Structure 1
Amino acid sequence: MCTVKRYFTFDPRLKIDVPYLAGEWTAYPTQTQEAILLEWERIRGAIPDRIGEIEKEIEELQSSLGQEEDFEESCRLNSEISERASQINDLWIWYRTTLEM
């Protein structure tokens, strides 16, 4: 059995492992492909939970923004909200990404 962790790399921005394949998919042995696919499905299954965590962060930031009177702090909060929304978008892209056999 191969160690599949080496075919993934941790994305600190998204806080998930993402595929990191050095070669063409078809160059990997079938057993390795199956192990990678199994691990990817496990990771993909956790992406909606990660999105939910970020959505809660956005709600908290929006609540703070609604009470903020300082313009510079409002801009900072807006920037953080935009970054979290971008993370969600990227996570959905990864969620829809399938590795093909």
Structure 2
Amino acid sequence: MKELFTYDERLGISIPDLPMEWDEYSKGKQHRILAHWESIRGHIPDRIQELEAIINRKQAQLSDESNFSLSCQLNTEISELASVINDLWLWYRTDHGISEKMHN
């Protein structure tokens, strides 16, 4: 099943990389894909929590930073981490459409 998932370095998780349309997979394969995705998906809140902790540390650094260049760098890093969190939430919600297709 891992061949249908690709590790995304930015997100820190594997994401589906399905070469065929969902309906082209057998019901059995769909169930195995979903089971594997659920395993990955279950770790997304933990990953988000890790990133939020990093953001909190960077915000604490930022509040004490007097160097403008370093402040800009910290803001950029915080913004990127927030973007990753947003993308992770989108992936976390991805299963609903696939599950609905399976039950039709």
> Fold match, TM over 0.5?
yes
TM-score (norm 2): 0.92
Name the % identity: 53
2:94 — aligned with what?
A: 97
TM-score (norm 1): 0.94
SS of the equivalent of 1:22 reads coil
Runs of at least 4 residues off by over 4 Å: none
Which residue does 1:87 correspond to in 2? 84
- Range with greater deviation from structure 2 (71-80 or 22-31): 22-31
Q: Which residue of 1 aligns with 2:47?
A: 50
Cα distance in structure 2, aligned partners of 1:71 and 1:24 = 49
Corresponding residue SS for 1:64: helix
Distance 1:68 1:6 in 2: 45
* 2:24 maps to 1:21: no
Q: CA RMSD in A?
A: 0.7
Q: Equivalent residue for 2:35?
A: 38
Amino acid at match of 2:71: S
Unaligned runs of 5+ in 1: none
Q: CA shift at 1:31, angstroms? A: 1.2
